[in-house]
Amino acid sequence: MPRVSREQADRNRLAIEAASSRLFRERGIDGVTVADLMAAAGLTHGGFYGHFESKDALAAVACEKAFAETVERWNGVAAGRTTPRAMIETYLSGAHRDHPGKGCPAAALAADVARHDGERPLQDAYVAGLKQFLAALASMQEGDDPTTRTRSAMAQLATMVGALTLARATRGDPISNQILAAARDALAPADEPRSAPPRGGARRKP
């Protein structure tokens, strides 16, 4: 069997990371097998351990990747590419609720991280990503005191993640959309014109 080039090996690893980042958020870490991951990446099962020591090791990498994508999108507010209201309404939308594989890992992976207590690489990756997310949110808060801005960001993140989690758990019942709407109303800045409630496919990822 011919040896895989370094460039191809790097592409294969990136494909595994991308597939795992999506599948772990969709199904949970315990709901995905190594065979599932490799099939989604378009690779054979046997090649997995040439890239990662274990599924748990990959889970930590996938968590980092998912948070990096989310934080980059929220940093767009500070860069002026979008508005706080637009990001909040996209986060608390039916599209985000219904497509966790493309969404925020803070909500999608929280239960997995709690169940995998003691898996330090995974928990460390989650905590580091959460802190980066909080820093992005804190940059959007009003006021000059860093402590106040951080606490406000924590309250905002807890509201968003909690509302999204409840909306997913109640999907199919009218209360699911009501929870999202209530959280949007509670968090959206009052000085921006209100947009229509997000429906269907979102224009941007949360």
The one-letter amino acid code at 204 reads: R
Mean local confidence (pLDDT), 118-131: 91
Which of 162, 67, 19, 159 shows the shortest CA–CA distance to 151? 159
Which of 152, 154, 161 shows the shortest CA–CA distance to 111? 161
Q: Is the pLDDT of residue 99 over 90?
A: yes
Q: pTM of the full predicted structure?
A: 0.85
Q: Is the pLDDT of residue 165 over 50?
A: yes
Band (pLDDT 50/70/90 cuts) for residue 190 is low
Mean pLDDT of all residues belonging to the chain? 89
Q: pLDDT tens digit string along 48-86?
A: 999 999 999 999 999 999 999 999 999 888 778 788 888
All domains in the chain, ordered by first residue = 54-187 (1.10.357.10)
What angle (nearest 5°) sits at the alpha carbon of residue 97, between those of residues 93 and 103?
95
Would you state the pLDDT for residue 102?
93
